[in-house]
Amino acid sequence: MNRTNFDQLLEAGVHFGHLKRKWNPKMASYIFMEKNGIHIIDLNKTVEKIDEAAAALKQIAKSGKKILFVATKKQAKTIVAELVTPTGMPYVTERWPGGMLTNFATIRKAVKKMSSIERLMNDKTFEQISKRERLQITREKANLEKNLGSIADLTRLPAAVFVVDILKEHIAIAEAKRLNIPTFAMVDTNANPELIDFPIPANDDASKSITVIVETMVKAIEEGLAERKFDKDNTPEVEDELEEGVTTDDSDDDDNKKGRRAPRGEGDSKDGAGRRPRRSTTPTKKK
């Protein structure tokens, strides 16, 4: 069953591309027709690509890994922040910090600095600092939270990156490709879909179009997280059932398995035929 339908995408305006003169020829296979100088995206192919991307994101979430959402354009940042926050996935909706992926250690230092400022502000000695210094620390914390607040819990590189408008977020795409991180993105008719591992041909400018695509991806992630939680809750019960099903008896097979030696028979002696004779240790005199 498809996660979205043709009518839903049509109503959201997902099919509207850019002007013909701005098109990227590599998007030709995803373009249905041209109307009034504007390219129309083939929504049947969009539905297929949505299902492929959603299935892949679901498996990544089920494995317990993080997916980073990137959307810094004005009409997308609020939508992405509201939809992604409940899943606990990191997102970047302000300026992309250059080197966030390729120089991740430095970004982690900035996050630790933000945490140390929070501890300082919660300490009683903070009130003893001059008013000017308190103002500077507060401003620095607000700036760090604005740029890094959503990735504060990202302790390692994400397993995948989802991008809205790959032309605007070209630095994020380049960093992800350099580190071989799978990329998912909404690709409009003016972009190159070959740069993305899981491209979704769609209008990346309209807020309704962004909402319906991102919402579908978020639902897939939530399904993966729910399945992961279900598997975790049921795994101990299966182990307990297996342990209860093991029975023990005093059979010879169990004794042999435990390494116990079978008792000697009545006809056996210490120097039986099956025993290897002991080598004499007394030296022999040379003649």
| Residue-wise pLDDT tens digits, 96-148 | 888 889 998 888 888 888 888 888 888 888 888 888 888 888 888 888 877 77
pLDDT score for 138 = 87
CATH number for the domain that contains residue 133: 1.10.287
Give domain status of residue 252, yes or no.
no
46 and 93 co-located in one domain: yes
11 and 150 co-located in one domain: no
- Number of domains, the chain: 2
Give domain status of residue 268, yes or no.
no
Using DSSP bridges, classify how beta strands 183-187 and 38-41 pair: parallel, antiparallel or unpaired.
unpaired
Q: Which domain holds residue 26?
A: 6-98+157-230
User: How many other C-beta atoms lie within 10 A of the C-beta of residue 177?
Assistant: 16
Of the residues 181, 201, 230, which one is the last residue of a structural domain?
Answer: 230
User: How remote is the C-alpha of 268 from its chain's centroid?
Assistant: 68
144 and 45 co-located in one domain: no
Question: In the block, which residue shows the tokens 């992926």?
Answer: 101
Q: Residues 157-170: what's their mean pLDDT? A: 94
Give domain status of residue 240, yes or no.
no
Retrieve residue 118's tokens. 């929070």
Dist. CA 65–CA 224, nearest whole Å: 10
142 and 173 co-located in one domain: no
Dist. CA 178–CA 10, nearest whole Å: 35
Dist. CA 250–CA 248, nearest whole Å: 7
The string of pLDDT tens digits covering residues 25-59 is 999 999 999 888 899 999 999 999 999 999 999 99
The string of pLDDT tens digits covering residues 187-230 is 999 999 999 999 999 999 999 999 999 999 999 999 999 999 98
pLDDT of residue 256 exceeding 80: no
pLDDT score for 266 = 47
pLDDT score for 198 = 96
Across the beta sheet with 31-35, what order do the strands follow? 16-19, 38-41, 31-35
pLDDT of residue 1 exceeding 90: no
17 and 47 co-located in one domain: yes
Dist. CA 41–CA 6, nearest whole Å: 12
Of the residues 112, 135, 154, which one is the last residue of a structural domain?
Answer: 154
pLDDT score for 67 = 95
Retrieve residue 284's tokens. 């022999």
Identify the band that residue 276 occupies on the pLDDT scale cut at 50, 70 and 90. low
220 and 173 co-located in one domain: yes
pLDDT-above-90 percentage for the chain: 52
pLDDT score for 267 = 46
Q: Residues 231-256: what's their mean pLDDT? A: 55
35 and 12 co-located in one domain: yes
pLDDT of residue 246 exceeding 90: no
pTM for this prediction: 0.76
pLDDT of residue 76 exceeding 80: yes
91 near 150, Cβ under 8 Å? Answer: yes
Identify the band that residue 238 occupies on the pLDDT scale cut at 50, 70 and 90. very low
pLDDT of residue 181 exceeding 90: yes
pLDDT of residue 287 exceeding 50: no
63 near 226, Cβ under 8 Å? Answer: no
The residue among 259 and 93 whose pLDDT is bigger is 93
196 and 121 co-located in one domain: no
Across the beta sheet with 160-164, what order do the strands follow? 91-92, 67-70, 160-164, 183-187, 198-201
User: How many other C-beta atoms lie within 10 A of the C-beta of residue 151?
Assistant: 21
Average pLDDT taken over every residue of the chain: 83
CATH number for the domain that contains residue 67: 3.40.50.10490
Cross-strand pairs, 55: none
Please, is 20 exposed, middle or buried when counting C-beta atoms within 10 Å of its C-beta (0-12, 13-18, 19+)?
Answer: middle
Retrieve residue 38's tokens. 């504007």
φ and ψ at residue 91, rounded to 5 degrees? -150, 155
Identify the band that residue 278 occupies on the pLDDT scale cut at 50, 70 and 90. low
The residue among 235 and 247 whose pLDDT is bigger is 235
Distance in angstroms between the alpha carbons of the first and the last residue of the chain: 98
